[in-house]
Amino acid sequence: MNKGILNIVLISCIVLSACDKKQPPADNEVPVNLMKVKTKVVRYYDKYPSTTNALSQVNLLPQVQGAITAIYFTEGSHVKKGQKLYEIDTRIYNDNYNAAVANLKVTQGTLVQAQQDADRYAYLNKYNAVAKQLYDHAMITLDNAKNQVKASEQAVKTAKTNLNYAVVTAPFDGTIGFSLVKLGDVVTPGTTVLNTVSTDNPMAVDFIINEKQLPKFEKILDNKNPIDSLFTILLPDNTVYPELGKISIIDRAVDPQTGSIKVRLVFPNPKGFLRVGMSATVRVHNQDVKPQIVVPNKAVVEQMGEYFIYVAQDSLVNDPKAGADSAKKKKKILMAEQKKVQVGQVVGPNIVIKSGIDTTERVVVDGIQTLHDGSKITTANKVGPSAGGKHK
């Protein structure tokens, strides 16, 4: 019985003790760290996904029909303009050429004979010593002989062209790919693709920009002396390509569906590091030398595609400790105000703020995870650097 009474007394004490505890205020001040907004000159790169392309590229198509009798190159190698690549069976085209040459000689001999007859009849006709009909026939025969020679000469040119087409050569300096035909394959003019040759030095790098950025790139294109390090690229392994590029072409029109336009850079490629179709990242060095507002990246909050920052504002509120008769007495507190900002480039742990705040304000850099617009804040208790938000 005594034990039961003891338990009741103990429980009563616990309850009374709990009642005596002060409940936390309904509106706690959120501990934060603040940073005075400052400006500084920022160096960074605007980055764009890009693809490498050849300035010139051509599919090799045969101009004559026949079997492949020789292949003179190594696949994937560099070839020179005019270098022999393929040979199509030349026997029939060589025979046609020789026949055309022989026929030309026959027509030339016929022309000599016709010219002699025409000269003879012209002399006799001058003295009315031959019938007019024979003279006319001699002149017609001469004209026919001349036309036959012209036709034979053209046949020789055609046969020579076909014979030349039987040997396929490189149209320009560049890199040749895998052969799509093998020895003995019969190829057809205009349909069979033999191979592809593309230029390899210099190389084009194409990327897409938004139409709002078009004036910036047009100014760069018009500038005859841009800074040397304006354009660089990151290779697929994330290393920086050692050569510097320059802007070459801006496409003729903006895509009305996407509001984007293609820009082409040109990079030297003396060692053949760049290949057609590589994925790269174009880096455009910023040319803005004016100081810009930079804040820690963790101070920016993203909501539905928009970006916000909390700034500290001094406010005066009624002081409840002053008593009921002193309602007009005020006390100074800090409140968090949410401001919409336009963000720029991320530079390491920081981010550029293009608009929305100015250098007269103090930004909340830690403790923003529990804030909302109008929250009371305090800097009395410092917040660890890891307690801040993170810009996505």
In the chain (392 residues long), the average pLDDT of successive 10-residue segments reads 51 50 58 86 85 95 94 94 94 92 93 91 86 89 93 93 93 94 93 95 94 89 73 92 92 93 95 92 80 87 88 74 58 83 84 87 86 82 52 44
The residue out of 236, 254, 285 marking a domain boundary is 285
Same structural domain, 271 and 380: no
What is the pLDDT at residue 391? 45
Same structural domain, 212 and 358: no
Same structural domain, 186 and 75: yes
What is the pLDDT at residue 209? 93
Reported as half-sphere exposure (CB side, CA atoms, 13 A), residue 207 has a value of 25
Tokens matching residue 92? 């029939």
* Contact indicator for 260, 286 with CB cutoff of 8 Å: no
Query: Which H or E run includes 346?
Result: strand 330-347
What is the pLDDT at residue 193? 95
Identity of residue 237: D
CATH number at residue 84: 2.40.30.170
Residues paired with residue 315 on neighbouring β-strands, in sequence order: 333
What is the pLDDT at residue 16? 47
Is 343 part of a structural domain of the chain?
A: yes
Same structural domain, 96 and 138: yes
Is 113 part of a structural domain of the chain?
A: yes
Same structural domain, 85 and 105: no
* Contact indicator for 283, 265 with CB cutoff of 8 Å: no
What is the pLDDT at residue 112? 94
Same structural domain, 361 and 371: yes
Same structural domain, 212 and 346: no
Same structural domain, 236 and 317: no
Is 147 part of a structural domain of the chain?
A: yes
Same structural domain, 121 and 178: no
- Report the number of distinct structural domains present in the chain: 3
Instruction: Tell me if the pTM is above 0.85.
Output: no
- The C-alpha atoms of residue 205 and residue 195 are separated, in whole angstroms, by 23
Same structural domain, 183 and 159: no
What is the pLDDT at residue 125? 86
Domain that holds residue 340: 30-43+290-387
Same structural domain, 185 and 52: yes
CA angle 173, 178, 180 (to 5 degrees): 115
CATH number at residue 357: 2.40.420.20
